[in-house]
Structure 1
Amino acid sequence: MSEGRFDQQAWLARIGYRGSLQPTIATLNALVSAHAHTIAYESLDIMLGRTPRLDLPSLQRKMIEGGRGGYCLEQNMLFRAGLRSLGYTITSLQGRVVRGMAIDAPRPAIHMLLKVDMPEGPYLADVGFGNLAPTSALLLRPGVEQDTPHEQMRFIDVGGELTLQAKLSDAWEHIYRVIPYARYDSEYEITNWYTGTHPDAPYRSNIIVAKPGPNRTRITMFNRRVTVRYPTGAAERRHLTDDAQFRTVLREEFGLRMTDAEIRNCVDVMERKGEKGAPHPFFT
């Protein structure tokens, strides 16, 4: 993929960032926060029969010009292009998602994340993990409890893979294990095809959207269920009952530019094929 076609100014305008462009930790943290709060995590194109495209022009058309969000591969590839345009040195990595599972569960590497090399050390940047994406960069060092604008987070070593954990209420919960080896974009293309087309992947049948909110809240949507989670661990849940509510939530609360027909098609797929019970553990 050619990074030369990246429109830095359009990206910065899209995420509402007007701060320093010097490639420092402070700038990195501000960019992570701005991007995560503006461009929602979502996988709705897959429900519409559109396997996500990972080439940079397509990512910009969709998420910058088109007012849409994306899932991990789309989000972090766009964010990577933005960081590189500002002079950051990036290594592309993958992770094994263990949310809701044993910390050493034998999981495939299907999550994309970024390592940012700074004078202070290597940092993780990830704007694409839905309901628990870190809202600041994190020092890739085990045993250091790190504050973010949302949860406190840390890494612990599990067989040579640093496992990201978030403190939810009073408990540390696993998110994913970071594989410490650089990945090629062709490997992400394989992952993208698997997650976007496999019949058992949750994205084909379920409305999945997430975004960090103000005052350390997080808002998630799984089919009809919309949840606002507070830093205390308390949560407010509501269930959507008609198309008008779906349109309001997707457009106004998550900022997605979608047509009435697209939203109706997603609801139709969800009604026919979606999970009927509690949300998938990755997206609670």
Structure 2
Amino acid sequence: MKKVPTLDIRRYETDRDAFVAEIGAAYREYGFCCISGHGIPRELIDGAYEAFQTFFALPAETKLQYHLKGTGGARGYTPFKVETAKDSKYADLKEFWHVGREIPRDSRFADVMAPNVWPKEVPQFEKYGYGLFDALDQLGSRVLRALALHINLPENYFQDKTDQGNSILRPIHYPPITEENVPNVRAGAHEDINFITLLVGASAEGLEVLTREGDWLPITTEGDAIVVNIGDMLQRLTNHVYPSTTHRVVNPQNDNARKPRYSVPYFLHPNPDVVLDPVAECITPDNPSRYDTSITSHEYLLERLREIKLI
């Protein structure tokens, strides 16, 4: 039975060459890998989950005060059944919140990266929400160092391309499914838009990844492992050496369908002005460049948000 590997990121310091080879092989094959040994404190993850669950339990009219219309859900609250996977007829069975990067308001990116909003009803939301944003941002940067080395780029290649990235922490609530034969799934088959996604809380069943052979492979994590997958922007930048793999969250076929599911992905984005042209190191006679037009990460993001009906 195929299985997405779990690798201990501490080996990057102690056994670098072997770790880089293994993580590179995992991403080339699956576009996914589970990362353990990351050092993000359990109390930060648990505290964040508790704050997010407290918010989602609030009355609908309270939550809707934080729905910022016309922003594409870039910050604050997005209600149930709004986001729709590309080419899907049915909206996803979820509601979510977006935490973004805190940047100086005189930054050149201020017009495309709005300030955060925080729910006053849940005082601990900001501390834990931004704490987790920061911790996953740092972990993502560590993963990108290994991915850079695997394709013969300098270790710090991504550093100045993601330090002002338009990244998003997205606490998601999938409510209990109470109807029989509901046509919607919790999250329709899709690929992520960004560079890499770090998912905290894939311990509940439902997440599945599509293998090269066309089979759906379930992913559940053990211990402290965090699922990290490639998004479309990094697939484009690496000329598909790192594939952005289709994945979905299916409805459980047992009593767990009657329970809520929570998950917290962190979408690590490049800075808005990064041009997503394939790097020379990933262009070979066997893998000629697949793109003949240039696009910045911000233009690409807007194009994709329109496709999934967020703008």
TM-score normalised by length of structure 1: 0.28
- Which structure shows the higher helix fraction? 1
> Which of the pair has the greater relative contact order for Cα pairs under 8 Å at 6+ separation?
2
- Which structure shows the higher strand fraction? 1
TM-score normalised by length of structure 2: 0.26
Higher Cα Rg: structure 1 or 2?
Answer: 2
